Amino acid sequence: MKESLQEIIKLTKEYLETERLLGTEVIYLEKELPEIIKPEPVGQGFSLAQKEKSKPDTKSRSEGLPYSSPDIDIKNLDDLQGEVGKCTKCSLHKTRNNVVFGEGNPDAKLMLVGEAPGREEDIQGKPFVGEAGKLLTKMLKAINLKREDVYIGNILKCRPPHNRDPKPDEIAVCKPYLEKQIELIKPEIILALGRHSAWTLLGIDAPFKAIRGNVYIFKQAKLIPTYHPAALLYHPAWKKEAWIDLQLVQKLYEQS
């Protein structure tokens, strides 16, 4: 009895420490992990592994866009980085200071995909080094991972002026680079950070709330959509669901 009380105290301390790391101000007493449902192939490069009731109304976002651009004949990340570094396929090259290719472990089991570089990332040429990046580092720490363990990339490799949303034509020309990056890294798990990342990778247009809470199969990886850390800075109450997603990532990571 004494031991189990100590165990409860230990677990409670760990839980509170994790919440502290995530910057939580409100503690929720009940949590529910989403069920991982066996994926069923549905074609189009991804499949949905989700509860019927929350099935999003899927509309293709890629209609009319050159998503099916020819394969990039590149065999390693360094060469791909060289290629992306020279890219002038959209107007963002005119305003960028640096291309933000991505960084981390090239053999990572977990790859994180954000939206696009912000001001700080554009200056440093590295992903997630601003305020959102600090929270992302804490989120990883909460599941016992360091930035060096994972690979961090973005949908767009150049900063949109004033951090505006990526435009469809920018996504269309940049997406093949990300797909090649994923193909070379071969992550087992992909954490899609924010709606633009989830929409682009899954090629579907549905309310983010319908997409989140499910596991998808994308290029043989398990893809989990979660809130973008920048959104969590503005909406701390969403951290409750983000923590559920992170716990799912941790579970899959430890199983892989």
Contact set with ligand URA (CB under 6 A): 114-118, 121, 127-128, 132-133, 154, 230
Q: Which residue has the tokens 């990886």?
A: 221
Which of 118, 203 has the CB closer to ligand URA?
118
Instruction: Output 115 or 245, the one with its CB closest to ligand URA.
Output: 115
Count the alpha carbons within 13 Å of 218 in the hemisphere toward its beta carbon: 27
Nearer to ligand URA, 158 or 217 (CB): 158
Find the shortest distance in angstroms from Cβ 101 to ligand URA: 11
Are the beta carbons of 62 and 179 closer than 8 angstroms? Answer: no
Residue 133 or 213: the one with the smaller Cβ distance to ligand URA is 133
For the bound state, the minimum distance from the C-beta of residue 90 to ligand URA, rounded and expressed in Å, comes to 17
Quickly tell me which residue has 């071969």 as its tokens: 186
* Shortest distance in whole angstroms from residue 122 CB to ligand URA: 9
**Edge-to-edge strands, sheet with 151-154:** 40-41, 46-49, 215-218, 221-226, 189-193, 110-114, 151-154, 103-104
In the complex, what is the shortest distance from the CB of residue 14 to ligand URA, in angstroms, rounded to a whole number?
Answer: 29
Find the residue with minimal CB distance to ligand URA. Answer: 114
Q: Is residue 33 within 8 Å of residue 244, measured between CB atoms?
A: yes
